[in-house]
Chain A
Amino acid sequence: AQSVAQPEDQVNVAEGNPLTVKCTYSVSGNPYLFWYVQYPNRGLQFLLKYITGDNLVKGSYGFEAEFNKSQTSFHLKKPSALVSDSALYFCAVRDKEGSYIPTFGRGTSLIVHP
């Protein structure tokens, strides 16, 4: 079985400050991990993914995420938040040895204040 948890429904951060959106996962084997962003009334857009290799993954719009196997986490980070980063963020996981269907978290609403 595979599952993903996004413990925060909402994250508030001031523009220019660093941001972190948390994600933890559970899989039987090794994980493939993904982050997506959803702007209001839009579909999900791919940000970045971890498949193998370097634990620090860099993606679109200046976002990055760090895979931490011991803590089973894949937190999304950005050094300096923009108001335009305000959106709904989804973490997803797929068990490498499991089905081809990723499981998504419930989403975290990021609000960046001017």
Chain B
Amino acid sequence: GAGVSQSPSNKVTEKGKDVELRCDPISGHTALYWYRQSLGQGLEFLIYFQGNSAPDKSGLPSDRFSAERTGGSVSTLTIQRTQQEDSAVYLCASSSGTPGIDTIYFGEGSWLTVV
């Protein structure tokens, strides 16, 4: 596609429910990132996928968070038993070429509200 696509754009869920957030990166991009943006907190790294390598999960805040990337393309971020502190914008980004140098392109984000 033309850009990084994320869905849903907005999600309101009840505390304790599970949610899935989807990211479709730019076609051909091998690197995929998930970040979380909370009010006044800047961007918090969650997880990084690069090609077929094992993902870097070092930013996941708890074991309620998980992510997978199928076929080296689409990624799903899953939050189990959501808590109010999970309310944030979840941003997906992708890049191609030399990891860490090439420009990272962001999607519009998925706004999650836990009530």
Q: Which residues of A contact B (CB under 8 A)?
A: 32, 34, 36, 42-46, 49, 51, 90, 94, 96, 99-107
| A51–B106 alpha-carbon span in the complex (Å) | 19
The digit string for B23-63, where 1 denotes a CB below 8 A from any CB of A, is 00000000101010000111101001010000010010000
Question: Do A101 and B33 have beta carbons less than 8 Å apart?
Answer: yes
Question: What are some 16 contacts across the A-B interface (CB < 8 A)?
Answer: A42-B109, A43-B4, A43-B107, A43-B108, A43-B109, A44-B91, A44-B93, A44-B106, A99-B56, A99-B100, A100-B31, A100-B99, A101-B48, A101-B59, A105-B42, A107-B43
Question: Do A46 and B40 have beta carbons less than 8 Å apart?
Answer: no
What's the minimum C-beta distance from B47 to chain A, rounded to whole angstroms?
9
Q: Which residues of B contact A (CB under 8 A)?
A: 4, 31, 33, 35, 40-43, 45, 48, 50, 56, 59, 91, 93, 99-101, 103-109
Question: Do B91 and A43 have beta carbons less than 8 Å apart?
Answer: yes
Question: Do A90 and B42 have beta carbons less than 8 Å apart?
Answer: yes
| A44–B99 alpha-carbon span in the complex (Å) | 19
| A95–B35 alpha-carbon span in the complex (Å) | 18
Q: Which residues of A contact B40 (CB under 8 A)?
A: 106
Q: Which 9 A-B pairs have the closest CB atoms?
A: A106-B42, A100-B100, A104-B43, A100-B99, A43-B106, A44-B106, A43-B108, A46-B103, A94-B100
Question: Do A32 and B42 have beta carbons less than 8 Å apart?
Answer: no
| A44–B40 alpha-carbon span in the complex (Å) | 15
Which residue in chain A gives the minimum CB-CB distance to B35? A104
Question: Do B56 and A51 have beta carbons less than 8 Å apart?
Answer: no
Q: Which residues of A contact B104 (CB under 8 A)?
A: 34, 46, 102
Q: Which residues of A contact B31 (CB under 8 A)?
A: 100
Which residue in chain B gives the minimum CB-CB distance to A46? B103
Question: Do B43 and A32 have beta carbons less than 8 Å apart?
Answer: no
Which residue in chain A gives the minimum CB-CB distance to B43? A104
Question: Do B45 and A49 have beta carbons less than 8 Å apart?
Answer: no
Q: Which residues of A contact B59 (CB under 8 A)?
A: 101
Q: In the complex, which of the residues A45, A49, A101, A107 contacts B56, with contact meaning CB atoms closer than 8 Å?
A: A101
| A101–B93 alpha-carbon span in the complex (Å) | 11
Q: Which residues of B contact A99 (CB under 8 A)?
A: 56, 100
